[in-house]
Amino acid sequence: MKFKTWLKNNYKDIIIDAIILFFVGFLVAVGGLFLWVSTLEIPDLSAFEQRRVLQSTKIYDRTGEILLYDLHEDVRRTIVPFEDISYYIKNATIAIEDDQFYNHGGISIRGILRAAFSNLFEGDLLGGQGGSTITQQVIKNSILEQEKKLTRKVKEAILSIKIEKILTKDEILSFYLNESPYGGTIYGVEEASQAFFGKSAKDVTLAEAAYIAALPQAPTYLSPYGNNRDALEARKQRVLDRMLDLGFINQDEHKEASETEVEFQSQVISGIRAPHFVMYIRDLLTEKYGEEALAEKGYRVITTLNYDLQKEAERIVKEKAPGNKEKFNASNVGLVAVDPQTGDILTMVGSRDYFDEEIDGNFNVALAKRQPGSSIKPYVYASAFSKGYRPETVVFDVKTQFSTACEPWDMSNSNPCYSPNNYNSKFVGPIQLRNALAQSLNIPAVKVLYLTGLKDAIKLATDMGLTTLNDPDRLGLTLVLGGGEVTLLEHTGGYGVFANEGVKAERRAILRIEDVNGNVLEEPEVKSERVLDRDVALLISDILSDNNARAPLWGYNSQVNFTTRDVAAKSGSTNNSRDAWIMGYTPNLAVGVWVGNNDNAPMNGLSGLIATPTWREFFDIALETVEDKKFPEPPPLDSSLKPILRGEIMDPAYLLSQVQLGNTTLDIAGIASGIHTILHFVDRTNPTGPYPTNPERDGQYANWEYGVNKWKEEAYGTIINAVASSTKPNDDDDDAEED
């Protein structure tokens, strides 16, 4: 009670004391800040003319002895006067980097607050957006150490304010445009203009200037020679949109520049080995350490690349590609090899020639999304085997309408109907899953996908390393025929899971990173996890290495047959002849090859076989470098399984032979009546469980059963007629008896 009375009588004095205390604290803080600022030395202007490239990052093969690339060995920088830089470049840069450049005094409070709130929301206060003005970026690139510390950001802001009092705005912008990185060893807009467009910075067009202004944010990721051209196009368009908003260009200029197709010159890089792999490594390093660190810290990066195998792969691809172009109109080839047990990338060839401008050779097809065709089927079959289906399980390879929106007898294949064909438009009737997969038959594959379930098949493929099959509603049953998209790198790694008996080793491209003093900064360990039952993996390997099972498709002496080594293989091609694949593995090596055209132009001929000669020649060489290992025996068949699961169905050819031998006691009609679609005998969600009480309720039952019945009419009708003929009374014999 006394306290409340005291507070009521003295609250005005308390408020006044609090205000005084706040201002005293504020003045002390400001005084301390100014005292600290007064101790900072303003650098000489000459510091701005010498970009800080201390020691650049070097990338080596797995031995640590073969230098693949020195990231800044051939730094290219040409300083040009401010007046010799196109006003398009100046305005485009200001529009996207710092639209208040000519209005602020070195820092943008609004930009700092916006970046701080964004970084706080994303949980990375120091490592996210910087809110930096052009002036701050000049300071950052020229003076301060590249480290994520609050003190550096404070120094950056203070020095920016000070430098604004020494240099004019045009001088600061000139430093920025002459010193900023534009990708790889290219610094400054003059070198960028010459490298990208073959012209001086004063002569670039508005559209070209928009590309140049777009790059400094992330020059490696947005490189016009990389795999992220969509991101570059989007940022270039954002530059143009901002220029329009700020009144730097009018609507007509905006429209023309947006629609202009700009051609980039071919990339010129000297002293580089395994270029696609090196650029892949560079992107990984940039994402983790940043552009500046790679340019200055002198990292020594030991990669997983086997350079001896890489050289052979590049040679083979370059030798085979011209013949593919001439015979099949297939201009490009990609090849990837991985160690299934460690996840190490051993080789990566992203095209027949990195420097071949005619085929966009610097584009890495090993990282591109392409349709896998039938090479996706092993994932689907593995999913089915995980649920209890077996290689011996029988399905009917007959013409089938899979769309329940269409009548079972309507075999059209136009929306909404779906009735695919096999590659040779022939159907073999009942077939075991072993032979169906080995011979790459489409109808059984679609049925297997339905039996296992689309989402479960995609989940397994994702668990095995495929990250691009993320739209099941769009894919539907076409997934198993290659309707989705995968990358060669991930696809090869997925086959590596089969090779490693169901264990996925996380992909690894770097063995060790050392700093300039030899201290190990990073040494990734092998990370593995089981994603597929071992027995299922062994079943897939057993099928894909079964030369007898695949002989009807390949023949007995094909290029996928290795007489002395265990090698599993699966080809794939798309119906539109745009992609050809061959994937294969031993227990300790997985190799994938893609053939096609970067622009998706169709090929000619039997595209599924185009990739095989390249794959086989490399595999023969690579096998000499790894231990001879055999696939373990798969689990035996459980005799207690339902007959349909263990492959039991009466063979019409056998019945006919019995009739021809005079065995007329067979109940052909009875036997035929017991033959049905697999859906008659199994609940697809629990195939090893009880028989379904009402199988007709399954949405696909009527369609599948129709195809089976049609097959029975053709297969057993002949036999029934033969039996009837053999048992029909002979009129002459009857007359003889009567006589």
Q: pLDDT band at residue 28, thresholds of 50, 70 and 90? A: low
| C-alpha atoms less than 13 angstroms from C-alpha of 677 in its C-beta half-sphere | 29
Does 377 or 155 have the greater pLDDT score?
A: 377
The pLDDT of 70-99, averaged and rounded, is: 86
In 10 A of CB 98, how many CB atoms?
A: 21
Pairing of strands 58-60, 67-70: antiparallel
Q: pLDDT band at residue 302, thresholds of 50, 70 and 90? A: very high
Q: What is the DSSP letter of 344?
A: B
The pLDDT of 667-678, averaged and rounded, is: 78
Please give the Cα distance from 66 to 677 (Å, whole number).
60
pLDDT digits (tens, 9 = 90+) for 511-530: 999 988 889 999 999 999 99
3-state secondary structure of 686: strand
> Percent of the chain, pLDDT > 90?
51
Checking if the pLDDT of 37 tops 80, the result is no
Spatial neighbors of 560 by CB under 8 A, at least 6 apart, are 550, 554, 567, 569, 571, 582, 584, 612, 616
Checking if the pLDDT of 125 tops 50, the result is no
535-567 residues labelled b (16+ CB within 10 A) or e (exposed): ebbbbbbbbbbbbebbbebbeeeebbbbeeebb
Residues 510/522, Cβ–Cβ less than 8 Å? yes
Does 296 or 410 have the greater pLDDT score?
A: 410
Residue 17 is inside which H or E element, if any?
A: helix 2-38
Q: DSSP letters along 561-602, please?
A: --SSS--EEEEEE-TTS-EEEEEEEETTEEEEEEEE-TT-PP
pLDDT digits (tens, 9 = 90+) for 568-598: 999 998 877 889 999 999 999 999 999 999 8
Query: What pLDDT does residue 421 have?
Result: 87
Q: Which of 253-267, 415-429, 447-461, 646-660 has the lowest mean pLDDT?
A: 646-660
Residues 409/453, Cβ–Cβ less than 8 Å? no
Residue 237's φ and ψ, nearest 5 degrees, are -65, -35
What is the Cα gyration radius of the chain? 35
3-state secondary structure of 465: coil
Q: What is the DSSP letter of 691?
A: P
Query: What pLDDT does residue 185 have?
Result: 76
The residue whose two tokens read 């195809």 is 707
The pLDDT of 223-244, averaged and rounded, is: 91
Most confident of 138-147, 279-288, 343-352, 403-412: 343-352
Q: Which of 205-214, 266-275, 542-551 has the lowest mean pLDDT?
A: 266-275
Q: DSSP letters along 618-683, please?
A: HHHHHHTTS----PPPPPPP-TTS-TTTTT----HHHHHHHHHTT-----HHHHHHT---GGGT-B
The residue whose two tokens read 């090596």 is 589
Does 652 or 435 have the greater pLDDT score?
A: 435
Give the chain's length: 739
In 10 A of CB 522, how many CB atoms?
A: 13
Residue type, 696: E
Q: pLDDT band at residue 739, thresholds of 50, 70 and 90? A: very low
Please state, rounded to an integer, the average pLDDT across all residues of the chain: 85
Q: DSSP letters along 111-149, please?
A: HHHHHHHHHHHHT-TTTS-----HHHHHHHHHTS-----
Please give the Cα distance from 381 to 451 (Å, whole number).
10
Structure tokens at 429: 């009737």
Please give the Cα distance from 515 to 298 (Å, whole number).
6
Structure tokens at 106: 């070195």
